[in-house]
A and B are shown apart, each in its own frame.
Chain A
Amino acid sequence: MKKKKRKMTLTKKRAITGYLFIMPWLIGFLWFYARSLFMTVQFTLNVLEVRPGGGYTLTFAGLDNFLYAFRAHASFKQVLTTSVANMLIDVPLITFFSLFMALLLNKKFHGRTLVRAIFFLPVILNSEAITDAMDLARNMMSGGLSNAAAELAETAGSGGVSVEYYIQMFGSLGLPMGVIEYIMGAVARISEIINASGVQIIIFIAALQSIPGSMYEVAKIEGATGYETFWKVTFPMVMPHIITNVVYTVVDSFADSEVVDLAYDTAFTYNNYGLSSVMSLVSTVVTCLILVIVCRFIQKRAFYYN
Chain B
Amino acid sequence: MAKTTKAVSKEKKFSVRKLKEQYTAFKTDTQFANDRKRWSSNFKGFIIGLLKFLLIVGVSYVILGPVLGIISSSFFSNTDNYNPMVYMIPQDPTLERYSKAAQYLDYWKTVSNSLIYSVTLMLIQVFICSMVGYGFARYKFPLKNLLFACVVIMIVIPTHTIMLPLYMTFANFDVLGIISLIKGAPINILSTPIPVYIMTALGCGLRSGLYIYIFNQFFRGLPKEIEEAAFVDGAGTWYTYFRIMLVNAMPSVITVAIFSMVWQYNDTFYGKLFLISDDLIISKKVASLTANISNAEKIYDPSIQQLYLDAGIVLVMIPIVIIYVALQKYFIEGVERSGIVG
In contact, B65 and A24 (Cβ under 8 angstroms): no
In contact, B136 and A32 (Cβ under 8 angstroms): no
The smallest C-beta distance from B37 to any residue of chain A, in angstroms, reads 16
Residues of chain B within 8 A of A15, CB atoms compared? 139-142
In contact, A125 and B317 (Cβ under 8 angstroms): yes
Number of interface residues of B (CB under 8 A): 93
Residues of chain B within 8 A of A124, CB atoms compared? 262, 320-321, 324
B78 is an interface residue with CB less than 8 A from chain A: no
Q: What does the 1/0 interface line of A197-228 toward B look like (CB < 8 Å)?
A: 00100110111011000000000000000000
Residues of chain A within 8 A of B212, CB atoms compared? 25
Given contacts A40-B162, A119-B60, A273-B164, contact A284 B150 (CB under 8 A): no
Q: What does the 1/0 interface line of A91-126 toward B look like (CB < 8 Å)?
A: 000000000010011000100010111111110111
In contact, B131 and A21 (Cβ under 8 angstroms): yes
In contact, A14 and B204 (Cβ under 8 angstroms): no
Q: How far is the CA of A55 from the CA of B186 in the complex (A)?
A: 9
Residues of chain A within 8 A of B153, CB atoms compared? 33
Count of A-B contacts judged by CB separation below 8 Å: 257
Q: How far is the CA of A124 from the CA of B321 in the complex (A)?
A: 8
In contact, B84 and A118 (Cβ under 8 angstroms): no
Given contacts A136-B306, A137-B70, A194-B62, contact A280 B163 (CB under 8 A): yes
In contact, A21 and B134 (Cβ under 8 angstroms): yes
Residues of chain A within 8 A of B199, CB atoms compared? 28, 32
Q: Which residue of B lies closest to A127 (CB)?
A: B266
A35 is an interface residue with CB less than 8 A from chain B: yes
Q: How far is the CA of A254 from the CA of B335 in the complex (A)?
A: 23
Question: Which residues of chain B from 123 to 146 have a CB within 8 Å of any chain A CB?
Answer: 128-129, 131-132, 134-136, 138-142, 144
Q: What does the 1/0 interface line of A21-35 toward B look like (CB < 8 Å)?
A: 110111111011111
Q: How far is the CA of A260 from the CA of B140 in the complex (A)?
A: 38
Given contacts A11-B140, A133-B70, A140-B69, contact A28 B202 (CB under 8 A): yes
B98 is an interface residue with CB less than 8 A from chain A: no
Residues of chain B within 8 A of A126, CB atoms compared? 263, 266
Q: How far is the CA of A100 from the CA of B266 in the complex (A)?
A: 28
Q: Which 5 A-B pairs have the closest CB atoms?
A: A21-B135, A18-B139, A28-B202, A25-B203, A36-B162
Q: A113-B329, A130-B266, A280-B160 are in contact. List 18 more A-B contacts (CB 8 A).
A: A17-B139, A24-B201, A25-B128, A25-B203, A32-B204, A33-B153, A33-B157, A56-B168, A121-B64, A128-B268, A133-B70, A133-B310, A199-B335, A202-B336, A203-B341, A205-B332, A260-B160, A283-B158
- List 29 A-B residue pairs with CB atoms under 8 Å apart, sorted by A's residue number: A21-B131, A25-B203, A26-B147, A31-B202, A32-B202, A37-B157, A37-B161, A37-B162, A37-B165, A39-B165, A54-B185, A105-B56, A125-B67, A128-B268, A129-B268, A129-B283, A134-B66, A134-B70, A137-B73, A141-B65, A194-B62, A206-B340, A207-B341, A241-B341, A263-B160, A264-B272, A267-B167, A284-B161, A291-B156
